[in-house]
Amino acid sequence: MRYFGLRMGQALLLLVGVSLLSFVFLQLAPGDFFSEMRLNPQVSSETVDSLRQQYGLDRPLPVRYWRWLRSVAHGELGFSFAYNSPVAPLLGVRARNTLLLTSMATFLAWSAAIPLGVLSAASPQGWLARSCSLGSATLLATPDLLLALAGLMFAVRSGWLRIGGMASAEIDAAQGWLRIRDVASHLLAPVTVLVLGSLPILLRHTTSAMREALASPFVSAARAHGIGRTRILFRHALPAAMNPLVSLMGASLASLLSASLLVEVVMGWPGIGPLLLEAILNRDLYVVIGVVMLSTFFLVAGMLTADLLLFVADPRIRREGLA
């Protein structure tokens, strides 16, 4: 319990620190949501000042932060000026869509990285290892924006993949299997781009961890006892290489989330990425803070999940936690 209490305390401090920095940076940014109204000659400066006072934008930073904390306690996460509603309902649907996208991409990327990394480490000079090394180097040198634009161009010109939105307008939500197929067809292009962007890092770490495990004395002893190659790879070496991979799983969520925000904007997926871009352009203060806090929460949840898996898998960490 002490182990998890320490991790939860660190996560809470991280969330508080991110929220404070978000308020400070947005306070230093010039202008606010009502600044452009001053350019309209039909809107008087008294009206703009009244609106800023109504929404509390004239208050000092500590007062505004305290009011935001109170709204978080009520489950509102602040108030959106552009949508004239609390931020939490706006983030709810968008967060679900982003989680669907990132969870599918994470599952597919790890499902490809683990077997490819294991087989590449088993035969370092084989054709598979060379192909994976060349492919990962090429993808690492390709920016995420270029991958997204290439995926968008392929989808538009080929017509095989659907982009823009989460479902077609002609598909009713009550149509069951047709609805699922339609969502999957819209999901395929952004998921493919995210998998291609995250796979090289996962593949290289998996291959490196497996090579270190295969060089261990217990693997040599297993070979000397005549244990088969497949069993050595997947029953003995892979569990020994899992510790750094489990730690990487939590850290990879951060890069995947940042990449998903870009992919969502380019391909029109209705996640938190387009909402964040719109809020930044509109200077919708509390929506920007809400998206930043939601992304931080996803990152913290991923790191805590990785810590939990490490605690279950590694007895050394359990001993340290009990100590």
Q: What is the DSSP string of 34-72?
A: TGGGGG-TTS-HHHHHHHHHHTTTTS-HHHHHHHHHHHH
Amino acid found at 278: E
Question: pLDDT for 49-102, tens place per residue?
Answer: 787 777 777 788 888 888 888 888 888 888 888 888 888 888 888 888 888 888
Point out which residues pair with 85 in neighbouring strands. Answer: 80
Structural domain of 149 = 110-281
For residue 218, being part of any structural domain is answered with: yes
For residue 221, being part of any structural domain is answered with: yes
DSSP 8-state code for residue 86:
E
With b for 16 or more beta-carbon neighbours within 10 A and e for fewer, the 101-140 pattern comes to bbebbbebbbeebbebbbbbbbeeeeeebeebbeebeebe
For residue 291, being part of any structural domain is answered with: no
Record the tokens describing residue 7, joined without a space: 């991790």
At residue 267 the predicted structure's pLDDT band, cuts being 50, 70 and 90, is confident
Poorest-confidence range of 3-12, 70-79, 167-176? 167-176
The torsion region of residue 79 among left (phi > 0), alpha (psi -120 to 50) and beta comes to beta
Mean pLDDT across the chain, nearest whole number? 81
pLDDT of residue 173: 59
For residue 155, being part of any structural domain is answered with: yes
Whether the per-residue pLDDT at 124 is higher than 70: the answer is yes
d(CA 319, CA 316): 5
For residue 68, being part of any structural domain is answered with: no
CATH code (residue 208)? 1.10.3720.10
Distances (CA, A) of 162 to 157, 184, 187, 283: 11, 9, 8, 31
d(CA 50, CA 44): 10
d(CA 42, CA 46): 12
For residue 134, being part of any structural domain is answered with: yes
Record the tokens describing residue 311, joined without a space: 């605690």
Helices within the chain (DSSP H only): 2-28, 45-54, 61-73, 87-122, 127-140, 144-158, 177-214, 217-224, 229-231, 238-240, 242-267, 272-282, 285-313, 315-322
- Say if CB 299 and CB 254 are below 8 A apart: yes
3-state secondary structure of 23: helix
> Model pTM greater than 0.75?
yes
The torsion region of residue 283 among left (phi > 0), alpha (psi -120 to 50) and beta comes to left
Whether the per-residue pLDDT at 322 is higher than 80: the answer is no
Residue 85: phi and psi, rounded to 5, are -155, 165
For residue 298, being part of any structural domain is answered with: no
pLDDT of residue 18: 87
pLDDT of residue 119: 87
Average pLDDT of span 195-216 = 86
**What's the total number of domains in the chain?**
1
d(CA 174, CA 35): 44
Whether the per-residue pLDDT at 237 is higher than 70: the answer is yes
Average pLDDT of span 232-243 = 79
For residue 15, being part of any structural domain is answered with: no
Between 151 and 55, name the one with better pLDDT. 151
